[in-house]
Structure 1
């Protein structure tokens, strides 16, 4: 299918690594030269000022960067992938975080062994990003940016690699994941055919658009199907409530896309929501009576290029599930980047971040 038409580029994704000051300056200069006016059309959205109300649920050293969050079929968790290549599970305040899953490198590469607590380059031992459970089977699927699409059973342990290529091309930068609970299909993104996560900044500097949206069918176990290609840094992905389409974050174009799976538009991709910043992961939250919305985490809002991070900076937005309207914004998180927002029954929000040594929890009473 034809790639979605390009808009002006935005800025780095929240799947980022920490930039050196000189490289960051270069990026800012290049992006400012390309960006149109940043006048916002989102002034009407309601603001939720978080301030210092986020409770940090800290990880154990040397792990950091809980990029994505998932809860199992019992509602236990969250589970999250971290910088040392492992998936951890939160067991409550008394037991804390325990290891739930690891990949083959942790058993075959000495420096990746559990007893090693070195802070190694993430490409050496793997880097889990998006993750989601299939509740009926108990399987957890997760995107390892370097190793491919992974799966581990409900008891955890050694994860297996279920996909390393699609459409005759290798998976190069596996990123976001969601699971259709009815069919078991796994939807995920491959952010670039050219650059891996460690070189993500080159996707921005070159303006390349080689990302893909894919679907894996565990019933067949065959190579994933390529649903859409030619995407600019496709990142998080979320299935709609009725299963007719998936929503994909296109980070460098500051927008959400909608790819139709069923109906008269099946197989086509269209713009869905214009965002006030640079999106990372997308999570759907059902609101009862058939209503639903998406929480979209923003690594930075658009004003960051000119003003830096301020108390008014937008860290995440809530998007109407049917219209794509941006209705609410989380503000006031300071310099902490947000890579995912998961809304739990009762309204509490769990916040993931690729840059922090903790998961954030914002209780419903604080909203």
Structure 2
């Protein structure tokens, strides 16, 4: 028998390899490279002994960052929309010139000067927005032309007013305060820029405009088809860029009190270097304020460091150009290979060892001998429904099931030939249960826990739980709630099979066989949700025990059934009920004799059992082999198992040929019959039990109703 060393077992059980992949999924990971580059640059400057970070130098750097950071932010907003703005330097210069003309030449108030600068910057940005957003001229060509036009206007106006600007100095305490003042030991201009940056962070990450901006940048046609006004969004992005450049020009005018022929020259290259180096995608649809700010800091520190070292002119421009082309290369390569890298490291198989399968069958005796007892099952709704993963019956003997289309269908007793759409939820309904007053509680894949009231009104109960302190991914959101049961006091316990994968990626979770699942409790009286049990291997079926203080649950890939006490003297304790099943357990429900019915969705295979003890092999398979050729659990043939509360298997039902009921994910006993569901089926089965009780129903067992 294949086995591995103790170090390999420990390494794949306890070393959290999956953290690497989860880190790469985080949006802030795009900042890792620019942050590392900035840290190395700062370290190099310190080692050079330039005394670059003295208090006075830091104050001057903060004032420069206030201006340059706003320009970089404006360009970042445009690039997030899928465009580019090469005119930011010229708009910046024009706004600074307009401010100084108002202050120094016409002796207007600071407020009037600010409004003038904003009008100039906003007009320039709006012109770009109209040409690109509404006239649909290419952004690169448009802003290259407007760069020349705005620069020409600047030079013409500067030539006329330069002498008057230089000859007059504004006598305004407010003007001086904006240029050189501090507030709480922070330069005023830096504080203004910081407030603006925080505001834009909220807009881009929390508000509708930010979502639309990234949607337009990521896929313009798809955004249009989704109902987004693409032209208006692009226009707004360029207008915002112009306004931010205007604020930067206004602050620069306050700091220097003058302007020159070279103001803003080459600034577009510096800003472009900053945003690309910060991680703003050239392809659009990706970016943030923090990325733009980090890139701006890097470029400013690099530029000022070169000046301190005496590197100026063409050499400094050459270095900045090399940094830009390197940043562009890294951005293109990262966009191209990010998903490939993520796929290669995200799947993280754990070491798992199931007991020998042959030994298991010997221990369980003849109860698992294959039979065709389900061959005679009566078929309900053949070809009329898809994916009835779970089924349930009400007090009127009507039958309910979910479908792949997000519907809950009701079949009317007694012959179940007539049906109706009971409710439309949207996501695929999985686990079903009736509460005490007859509301249907539903686990919905990708959506959470929902309720369908007796008047058919659908409402969300919960779609999140408390987040784990040690989790990298946001595990507060429910991804795959799949089965549930209700305690006598109304608390709902439901399983979430995995926090790492969605419904259609269940085979990948099987490949990992890691404790990605959990049991969650929702308390309707308090409206609270909390995680009850963590670290389960694809928990699936949940069934309340008759003591009202415990429930049993299945772990599919671990092939075991466990009992857990949520109340009473044994609260918080677990106890094994059935170990080493020959198949993969799914839903569990009560039987009329006090036992439990269990669905085995598929049977174990020696190949997969062996692969579970070879995590390195599974890792290489996930990286090097096409997904269609991976070793997956077999879910084509399963059966129904009946076991006692003590874990003794007493009966099995098979349809070996898969003629009437090819696979099983759930079953419900009701008045002497067993109603059978299967997520890959297009029918529901009804099997008449040999020793079934014609007076027993699930509703009476749970709530005492006849």
TM-score by length of 2: 0.40
**Where do 1:169-184 residues align within 5 Å?**
169-180=476-487, 182-184=488-490
Instruction: Determine the structure 2 residue equivalent to 1:193.
Output: 499
More strand by share: 1
**CA separation of 1:94/1:138 partners in 2, compared to 1, >3 Å: closer, same or farther?**
closer
SS at match of 2:501: coil
Higher Cα Rg, which structure:
2
Higher RCO (Cα < 8 Å, 6 or more apart): 1
Distance 1:255 1:318 in 2: 14
Compare the two structures and name the one with the higher helix fraction: 2
> 1:84 corresponds to which residue?
405
Give unmatched runs, 5+ long, in structure 2.
Answer: 1-12, 14-348, 468-475, 609-632, 693-706
Q: Is the 8 A contact 1:314 1:330 kept in 2?
A: no
Pick aligned residue for 1:253 from 543, 558, 562:
558
Q: Which residue of 2 aligns with 1:317?
A: 641
Given that 1:280 and 1:339 are in contact with CA atoms closer than 8 Å, whether structure 2 keeps it comes out as yes
Of 417, 438, 446, which residue of structure 2 is paired with 1:146? 446
Query: Are the equivalent residues in 1 in contact too, given 2:374–2:653 (CA < 8 A)?
Result: no
Distance 1:59 1:76 in 2: 19
Structure 1 unmatched runs, 5+: 1-5, 7-29, 104-124
- Equivalent in the alignment of 1:9: none
2:678 is aligned with 1:353: yes
Cα shift readout 1:222-246 (whole Å, capped 9, x = no counterpart) = 2x22110000000010000111211
SS at match of 2:575: strand
Cα pair 1:282 1:340 within 8 Å, conserved = yes
For residue 511 of structure 2, give the secondary structure of its aligned residue in structure 1.
helix
Match of 2:421 among 77, 99, 122: 99
Two-structure CA RMSD over aligned residues (Å):
2.8
TM-score for both structures, normalised by structure 1: 0.76
Contact 1:42–1:276, Cα closer than 8 Å, also in 2: no
State the 1:36 CA deviation: 5.1
* Contact kept in structure 2, 1:50 and 1:333, CA below 8 Å: no
Deviation at 1:155, TM superposition (A): 2.9
Partner of 1:278: helix, strand, or coil?
strand
After the TM superposition, which of the residue ranges 40-49 and 236-245 deviates more from structure 2? 40-49
State the Cα distance separating 1:97 from its structure 2 match: 2.1
Q: 1:132 aligns with which of 407, 414, 433?
A: 433
Q: Which residue does 1:118 correspond to in 2? A: none
Give the equivalent residue in structure 1 for 2:375. 52
Q: Does the aligned pair in 1 maintain the 2:388–2:681 contact within 8 Å?
A: yes
The Cα offsets for residues 120-148 of structure 1, whole Å up to 9 and x where unpaired, read as xxxxx4110000101x3111101001111
Superimposed CA distance per residue, residues 31-81 of structure 1 (whole angstroms, 9 cap, x where no aligned partner): 9x96653112212427664152111102554x3111111122x14222111
The C-alpha deviation readout for 1:193-218, integer Å capped at 9, x for no partner, is 11111111111112221211111111
Is the 2:380–2:416 Cα contact (8 Å) retained in structure 1? no
- 1:146-174 CA distances to partner (integer Å, 9 max, x unpaired)? 11101011232x41111110113111110
Mapped contact 2:380–2:417 kept (Cα < 8 A)? no
In the alignment, the residues of structure 1 paired with residue 548 and residue 656 of structure 2 have an alpha-carbon distance, to the nearest angstrom, of 33
**Aligned counterparts of 1:316 and 1:296: Cα–Cα separation in 2:** 6
Q: Secondary structure at the match of 2:364?
A: coil
Match of 2:650 among 327, 331, 343: 327
Q: 1:76 to 1:51 in 2, by over 3 A?
A: closer
Match of 2:463 among 160, 164, 167: 164
Aligned residues: 303
User: Among 600, 604, 617, which residue is 1:298 paired with?
Assistant: 600
**Is the Cα contact below 8 Å between 2:583 and 2:601 reproduced in 1?**
yes
